Amino acid sequence: MKRALFETEHLLFRDAFRAFLKREVAPFYGQWEQDGIVPRDVWRKAGQQGFLGLGVPEEFDGNGVNDFRFNAVLVEELARNRFMGIGMPVHNDIVTPYLLRYTTPEQQRRWLPKIVSGEIVAAIAMTEPGAGSDLNGIRTTAMREGDHYILNGQKTFISNGILNDLVIVVAKTDLARAHQGISLLVVERGMEGYQRGRNLEKVGLHAQDTAELFFENVRVPVENLLGREGEGFIYLMHQLPQERLTIAVSAVAAAEAALEWTIAYCKERTAFGKPIADFQNTRFKLAEIKTELTIAQVFLDQCILAHNEGELTADEAAMAKWWTTELQKRVVDTCVQLHGGYGYMLEYPIAQAYLDARIQTIHGGTTEIMKEIIGRSLFKKP
């Protein structure tokens, strides 16, 4: 089915990004997976080619185009090629919107040009050892003392955790209040008391530097507060639908790639004197996958268009996130089965895809949390 979502400029952008990945990423990605981190010069090269800070206004060296379809193209290409270990979606789709919407003109002049150039690698720190989806449970504090906040606490599972030069930290600025006591502070590389912990060893996405972060009496200038004090929870709720949409885009693209690899394998692999593609069970399994992915893509494209119009709701984003990520898991698992023993060998991309897929139903909000969001929306008063 031909997708009507993209126009000529998006297709040209895709071609350019594909060429970038082929030239600057593909030959080296295996080594980066062994190293557990992506070199900083890749970020600067991506910035030079216009792949970072999507949507940043021209006055801050961006392209000035607020169109999530460009973000979707970038995520699709990373996912289809198994390059999601590069934390560009975190930088572009998750952090950059906060810096566009909740910053002062001075903050924008200070940070946005470097976000676009790749001089700054960005991250966001919400999760703590004892607090994940329940932000009320966070224990990181930021107490106001004159012109600074004194930041103390610990974060974990932070993508771009080692490389980041700028991290948005979710902290309690008023311990007496619940959601209304949460604020967002920008912590920058070199601030005294800000330390990176371990680059965590994960099941998949090995090239992604996912780390612990520690804050011990970090003096964060009041000028690094995002928006207004006490409104951090509201900002997070407004931005989470785009994060979940990004994850959904990656899920469908990765599953489509797994299907393509498996179709090719089934044509070549023989059993009992004929290609396994000739067995009815094989064709039925692949037919099921193709049908579900087609349906998922149609819904996802509708969500992208709604998001561009500012009309994507939190429950719709939750639907997209949980359905597509659970679908990705089922698809990749079936594709491993159709590969037989070779599907268990890490030299085959389907085995690597199996490892990378497992996080999808967890990060950005678990499947169970997504269902809770959807379920609550059914009982809202009109």
Q: How far apart are the first and last CA of the chain?
A: 37
Is residue 212 annotated as a catalytic residue, yes or no?
no
Catalytic residue among 229, 243, 292, 316: 243
State how far the Cα of 78 lies from the Cα of 224, in Å rounded to an integer: 32
CA quadruple 149, 152, 156, 158: dihedral, nearest 10? 20
CA quadruple 234, 236, 240, 246: dihedral, nearest 10? 140
260 Rama class: left (phi>0) / alpha (psi -120 to 50) / beta: alpha
State how far the Cα of 124 lies from the Cα of 297, in Å rounded to an integer: 28
The residues annotated with a catalytic role in the active site are 243
